[in-house]
Structures are given as C-alpha cells and as structure tokens.
C-alpha cells in the first residue's frame, strides 16, 4: 500500500484539500462579513476583472504543473506522506511506515517546467488563485493569509522529509529556486520555460 499511486488515495487527498479550502473560505467570510461587518467587495468592477484574470492565471499554472507531475500521482503520494508524518508524530521517530529510514533513496527530483521556477508550483498556484479571489471578494484575504502560513509551514516540513530521504541531494539540486513565488511561476508559465 506504500508509495504506489492510486485513484482512491488521490480522491481521498483531493477531498481533504477541498474540505480544508471550503472551511477556510466559509470561516473567512463569516469573520469578515458577520463579525467585522466589512463589505465583501469588490470596490471597483475593474479590480474584480483583474482578480478574475489572476484566478485564470492560477488555473493555467496548475495545468502547466500537471504536465510535469500527474495529479493522481501527486495527490496519492501526498496522502502517503501525510500518513507517514502523522504516524511519526503519534508513534515517534521510529515509526517507518514501511520505509527504510536508514539510507538514502533515489527519489526523482523534478527540475523541469514549473519546478525550474518554484519548488512548490501547486501551492504557489493556490496562493495565486487566492490573491485573485481577494480582489473579487475581499474576505478571501483572510483565507489567503491562513493558506500562506499553512503552506509555508508545510513546504518546510515536506522539504526536510525529502532532504532526509535523499541525504541532502534535494537541497543541493533546488538551491536558488524559491519555495513559493507567484510572480516567478507566472513568468514561467508565460514564457513556457522548458529549456535547460
């Protein structure tokens, strides 16, 4: 059951992500509108159009990313990593989840396409989408703040796990590539950076 990608695991992870995002959006709207009494926006229709274009850019960023890393594989693998991390927290550092933590493994480190521009293009695309959504409905600003904090912590944890699994090779290969940078990813998508 370990690391093999499957549609079932991908569906579970996609559902968890969507539930998390829905709760975050609903909570943000509740705090912004019902508790703080602020307008949900937009102030200007042109700002809303710009927000829509930014959300569209985020969708393009996701499609561009999925050309290099299939979503079934990505979501399935993420669920495996989440289960592994939770088991280590609950059971302790000795929990291996069926892995040999003693040595390095030959994990493929993708450095092409969007991965040339940012280390975490899916998280970056999500942040880009929430930036655009914030221009349409202002309460998305709260969700954007929470999402950025969560993703910032998550990428550090993920990178430490990958680095440990590759004996530092990940840090070496990805040196100089930003973790989360919506502008860098947008430029990458527009230019279609495939070349070495």
pLDDT per position as a tens digit, 107-130: 778 888 888 899 999 999 999 999
SS3 132: helix
Domain boundaries, the chain: 7-191
Cα–Cα distances in angstroms (integers) from residue 154 to residues 149, 161, 177, in the given order: 9, 11, 17
Residue 139 is predicted with a pLDDT of 92
Peptide bond into 42 cis (omega under 30): yes
Angle subtended at Cα 126 by Cα 122 and Cα 132, rounded to the nearest 5 degrees = 140
pTM of whole model > 0.85? no
Residue 41 is predicted with a pLDDT of 84
Residue 192 is predicted with a pLDDT of 74
Instruction: Note the helical H segments in the chain.
Output: 7-29, 45-68, 71-91, 121-136, 140-165, 169-174, 182-191
| For helices 7-29 and 71-91, angle between their N-to-C axes, nearest 10 degrees | 80
- Residue 68: partners with Cβ closer than 8 Å, 6 or more residues away: 110, 112, 113, 114, 115
How many CB atoms neighbour CB 95 within 10 A? 16
Residue 25 is predicted with a pLDDT of 92
Cα–Cα distances in angstroms (integers) from residue 10 to residues 18, 19, 38, 39, 73, in the given order: 12, 14, 38, 37, 7
Residue 3 is predicted with a pLDDT of 54
Residues of the chain predicted below pLDDT 70: 1-5, 76, 89, 92-103, 193-196
Q: Is the dihedral of CA 84, 86, 89, 90 positive or negative?
A: negative
Residue 4 is predicted with a pLDDT of 63
């Amino acid at each position: 059951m370990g690391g093999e990608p499957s549609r079932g695991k991908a569906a579970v992870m996609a559902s968890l992500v969507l539930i998390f995002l829905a709760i975050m959006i609903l909570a943000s709207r509740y705090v912004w509108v019902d508790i703080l009494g602020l307008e949900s926006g937009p102030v200007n229709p042109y700002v809303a159009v710009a927000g829509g274009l930014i959300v569209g850019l985020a969708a393009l960023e996701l499609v561009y990313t999925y050309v290099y890393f299939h979503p079934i594989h990505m979501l399935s693998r993420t669920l495996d990593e989440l289960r592994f991390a939770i088991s280590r927290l609950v059971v302790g550092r000795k929990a291996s989840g069926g892995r040999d933590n003693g040595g390095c493994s030959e994990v493929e480190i993708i450095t092409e396409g969007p991965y040339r521009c940012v280390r975490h293009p899916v998280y970056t695309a999500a942040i880009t989408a929430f930036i655009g959504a914030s221009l349409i409905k202002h309460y998305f600003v709260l969700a954007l703040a929470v999402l950025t904090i969560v993703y910032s912590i998550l990428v550090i944890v993920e990178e430490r796990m990958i680095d440990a699994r590759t004996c530092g090779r990940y840090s070496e290969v990805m040196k100089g590539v930003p973790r989360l940078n919506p502008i860098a990813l947008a430029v990458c998508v527009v230019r279609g950076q495939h070349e070495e």
